[in-house]
Each structure stands twice: as structure tokens, then as C-alpha cells.
Amino acid sequence: MSHKRIPKRKAAIAVGGVVALGAAAFLLPHANASQDTASGDAAAAPKTLKAADASDLASQLAGLLGDAFAGSYYDGDKRQLVVNVVPGDDDNVIVQAKKSGATVREVDNSMTELAEGKRTLKSEATIPGTSWAVDPRTNKILVTADSTVTGEKWDRLESTVQGLGSGMATIRKSEGTFRTFASGGDAIFSGGARCSLGFNVTADDGAPAFLTAGHCAVAADQWSDAQNGRPIATVDQAVFPGEGDFALVRYDDPATEAPSDVDVGGQTVGITEAAEATVGQEVFRMGSTTGLADGQVLGLDATVNYPEGTVTGLIQTDVCAEPGDSGGSMFTQDGLAIGLTSGGSGDCTVGGETFFQPVTTALAAVGATLGEAGAGAGADDQAGGEEAGGEDAGAGGEDAGAGTGDQAGEGGGEEAGQDDGTGYGVGQDAEDGAGDDGLIETH
């Protein structure tokens, strides 16, 4: 059998035929004493929930609590949903939230006030290299500026944040530079560009297709599963920049077979359906450059000001990614499709911020279905099958250097991974950066 070399910090280990995905422990802040709710006597004990169930409960409570609802997040340590409530004259809303099984915190900033703050940032501080999203764990807007935001731009951003008022927003600097993660190399190819396939889907007319990043699709119309190979898929719809970063790409062969899964390097995770992200949720990302990585959701409905333009409605995470990972899948251990890799800053050596396109939004926009509802897509012998992950060619072959073949987790194969002129080394240099002791072998 083939040997797969996978960075240890991103490895997935199969035990008894089931993929076990290791993850970092959650470090979620506990509520301050000043935020502890009163009127808890008759409340039911908080329920233990899976992240997906917590997301469903949060949606229900948002409707139930109305204007009193101020966001929510998932406490992974306690496996509980934490709901923020703005106290008012009617204490009954807090009682109702507690009876539902959620942990309730009283906070100061309402969703209306936070939304107004985001609108102010958009009108006064739309500066390339900045982003913002509501962090329900602090009940504030988290504003991030990358290393290019200096001088007058930094002063403008800082002044805008201060103008929102005390306790409304926090600002932090990122050491990296916000960019989309497209690069010349392997995985899915078009000319000198490389991206990663996200999720196989079924288009609205029943044809096989896949989702990837919009900034990949607006750059090129036809995509191959091997470097300099013949095209196997054509862009049908793409959005970037603007209200998202996603694309529907149709396989040229309508007879393409379609398992709905993610190849994590020798094993697969079955994808059953798309789901909304929850702040605090543990997630995994698969990309052709860096393989498998994990982390947690930090914010929803994030706005990111890339050099190419502003993108809204993204998911902010602390999962690492690098050039070539664009379009790759973000999912949960139990097979829920969450996002498509858009961009961010940093890398998988020092870490950083990464933003993802919600899969649910992309599916609704392009009219496609995913998982059991959509009977799959993805090429059997092209994008998702033997050739794609095999040793000869395809998206994961040794020569092409894709993320699912023998070179997976090494940043791509040596031939495809040379510096492409963008300044990103995604081949042998990426492997060396991980260090020999950072690799394990699986069979």
C-alpha cells in the first residue's frame, strides 16, 4: 500500500475503520461575575449538546428572545450553549432561555447596537488589510488589522473603533497580511493557478459539480485535476468580491460518479449535509497545500477587506491555511460541511486568522445540494477517485503533488510546488518548514 506522509500537527488517524480527528482543546472565557444572571432558581440545568444541536437551539432562541437576544456561542469544554441576553423589564425572557437548556449571560450590547457598529466600520474604515466580526464571547466587535495597516490607515481605524464608544469593540494587530490563498501549484489547476476542491455537490439540474472559492473561479474558467492536464470542469457561477467567496464548477462529463466525502490523507470523512457554523465550534480544514488542520470558529458574518475588494458574510477561525488551500473544505468530525477556505493571514507554522465562505449560503445561491440529499458529485477517476488520489497523476499524484496523494501534507509535490513568482514556496520548501520530526507515516 502507499505510504502517506502527513504533518503530525494536522494528522488524521484511522482506528477500526473510523477516522478519529484530533483537535486542540478549547480555551473559551468564562462569564464574568457581573454577567451572571439572577433569577436562576427555577431554571433547568444547562443541557449537554453537540455543536450542531447547539446551533439549532441558538436559532430557536434568537426567534424566541427577539431584541433581547445578543448572540451565542458553544462552550466546547462543557458542551453547552451560552446565550447572551440584554436584560430588560421582562425577566421572563431569561427564564425561558434557561428552561431551554442554555447557559444565560446578561450583557450590555444588543445585536442592533453591534450591527450599527459594523455599519460604521464599513462606511468609515473599509481599509484593505482589515476585518471585523461580532465575538459573542466578549459581546464586542473584534476588529483585526494586518501588517499593512500602518500610519494614517491605522490612525483612521483606531479612531473609528474608539468612536464606537467604550465597550463596543476591540482592535488587534495581525503579524501577517490578509490575502486569498490561491497559488500556482497542484490540486485543481488552471494555467498557473492552483486551488483546492471544496465539496462535491449536485447542481439543480442533477449534474455533478463541486464548490470552491469564488476568487479561484473568477481567475479562470476551466479547471483540471492535474497540472497542465486536460480540463475536467467548467465554472458555472462565481461570486467574488462582494457578498461571499464561492463558485459552482460543473464536471464536463455528466456521467461523473459522486461520493460525498473529504479525503484527509488515506482515509475519508463522509459528508452528510451542510450546517451553520457556531462560535466556539471545533472544525477541521483540508487543503491541497497543508493537508488537515483543526481549530475553532471565532466569529460569524465577518467582513474582510482583501486587496481585491471587500467580502462579507464569512466565518472567522483560528485554523491555519496557506496559498493553494483556497476553496478547500471546512467540516466537522461528524461529517457536516461548514465552509470553503477563502483567505486570511499567517501560515501553518506560526498560525493566523483564516476566513471561510459558509457552505449553506453558497448552496442556496447556486441552487445545489450536498451530501445524502444530493447523491454526491466529484469524479470517480478524475477529481475524487483513483486517479485523483493515486500515484500516477490527478489531484493527488506524486508528479502533480496534490494534497490527497503521496505528497499530501508536504505542501504539494516537488515538481508542482516550486516558487511560482508570487513569493510563495509551496513544494519542497513547505515540507522542510514542517521539520522531519513533525511528520508521521500512516498506511
User: Annotated active-site positions, please?
Assistant: 215, 245, 326
Contact 383, 399 (CB under 8 A): no
Q: Return the bridge partners of 392, or none.
A: none
- The residues near 430 (Cβ < 8 Å, ≥ 6 apart) are 289, 290, 322, 410, 411, 412, 417
Q: Phi, psi at residue 46, to the nearest 5°?
A: -55, 140
Give the DSSP per-residue string, 295-352.
EEEEEEEEEEEETTEEEEEEEEE-----TT-TT-EEE-TTSEEEEEEEEES-BTTTB-
Of 187, 179, 260, residue with least CA distance to 223: 187
Contact 430, 7 (CB under 8 A): no
Contact 142, 170 (CB under 8 A): yes
Give the DSSP per-residue string, 213-229.
-HHHHTT-SEEBSSTTP
Q: Report how far residue 52's alpha carbon sits from residue 277's, in angstroms, rounded to the nearest whole number.
A: 8
Q: Phi, psi at residue 217, to the nearest 5°?
A: -70, -30
* DSSP-derived secondary structure letter, 395: T
Torsion region of 352: left, alpha or beta (phi above 0 gives left; psi -120 to 50 gives alpha): left
Q: Report how far residue 126's alpha carbon sits from residue 295's, in angstroms, rounded to the nearest whole number.
A: 27
* DSSP-derived secondary structure letter, 373: G
